[in-house]
Amino acid sequence: MPDTSRLFFALWPDDETRQTLTCLKRSLPSKDFKWVQPHNLHVTLVFLGHVDPATELSIKQSVNDISAQPFALTFDSLSYWSKPRVLCLSCKQVAPEAAKLAAELDIRVRANGLPTDSRPYIPHITLARHACHLPDIKFEPIAWRAEAFCLVESCSEAGGVRYKVIQQWPFINPTANLD
């Protein structure tokens, strides 16, 4: 598609969370998987698909007034999803703030004429693609502190795909000095 970008809204990890996820991946006992590169680890909020520049600008403007408090997600379950053949981390309990943010972004994206996924929102971190089984491993839950959401572009490169943060919207910090 000429002059479009493949976009999605996501939570982007801080360096410490990314390092923790990378260590967990290294501990998994399978060499058959196609591992997601550390710089691509994220939590998708809403997938937009191919978007032209005018719609991208409109969507960016439409989400400027979204306000959210920082929240935490606890990734405490390793899952294998057979249909897409992915190995991912998920949450046994979804933070209500995450579901609310994903729903609000979904409304804004649909208001700009783009279709979105109608399935219930499930926060997850894809660790590997082309997976064929669920490794049997115990691990410490991973806490992810969300303090912003991002618009991310999926860029095809010679070595595979690379995700690039286009814009970030920080959440409200209730402890900030409002003088």
Catalytic residue among 50, 124, 130, 133: 124
Can 133 be counted among the known catalytic residues?
A: no
| Burial class for 80, CB neighbours closer than 10 Å (0-12, 13-18, 19+) | middle
Can 42 be counted among the known catalytic residues?
A: yes
Q: Quick one: which of 33, 43, 48, 47 has its CA closest to 147?
A: 43
Torsion of CA 22, 28, 33, 37, to 10 degrees: 0
Catalytic residue among 39, 42, 50, 133: 42
> Which positions are annotated as active-site residues?
42, 124
